[in-house]
């Protein structure tokens, strides 16, 4: 019985992680849309050897036009990406942020 309980806890942890990961992907995709960037393009720069990302494609279907979206702070996105170990993607996003900040000067 104890092993079954442990398996249930592990399954719940894994399920929770997957839900959180999907939310992170959606935040990234919406941030890109809000800044007139294409999520798949940025993702491909960070991970050039990965062919497509089904989770990202699914998240893109859930995004809304930037006019309908709330603001996603740059720091929030970078923090969420770091929480999930997406350092390469966070680096690419940081480069885009620097470009945006440079164009505002």
Contact 55, 25 (CB under 8 A): yes
Q: How many CB atoms lie within 10 A of CB 54?
A: 7
Please enumerate in sequence order all residues whose Cβ is within 8 A of that of 59, keeping only pairs 6 or more positions apart, or say none.
22, 25, 26, 28, 29, 39
For the chain, how many structural domains are there in total? Answer: 1
Q: What is the pLDDT of residues 52-92, one digit of tens each?
A: 789 999 999 999 999 999 999 999 999 999 999 999 999 99
Range of the domain at 70: 2-103
Q: From 86, 75, 67, select the one nearest 25 (Cα to Cα).
A: 86
Tell whether the model's pLDDT for residue 3 goes beyond 80: no
Cα 62 from chain centroid?
Answer: 13
Tell whether the model's pLDDT for residue 2 goes beyond 70: no
For residues 75-93, one letter each, b for 16 or more C-beta atoms within 10 angstroms of the residue's C-beta and e for the rest, the string is eebbebbeebebeebbebb
Q: Is the pTM of this model over 0.75?
A: yes
Q: What is the pLDDT of residues 15-48, one digit of tens each?
A: 888 889 999 999 999 999 999 999 999 999 999 9
Contact 28, 77 (CB under 8 A): yes
């Amino acid at each position: 019985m104890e092993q079954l309980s442990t398996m249930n806890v592990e399954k719940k942890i894994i399920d929770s992680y997957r839900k959180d990961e999907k939310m992170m992907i959606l935040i990234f995709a919406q941030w890109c849309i809000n800044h007139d960037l294409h999520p798949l393009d940025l993702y491909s720069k960070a991970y050039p050897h990965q062919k497509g990302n089904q989770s990202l494609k699914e998240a893109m279907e859930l995004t809304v036009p930037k006019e309908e979206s709330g603001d996603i702070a740059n720091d929030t996105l970078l923090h969420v990406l770091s929480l999930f170990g997406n350092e390469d993607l966070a680096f690419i996003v940081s480069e885009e942020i620097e470009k945006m900040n440079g164009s505002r000067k």
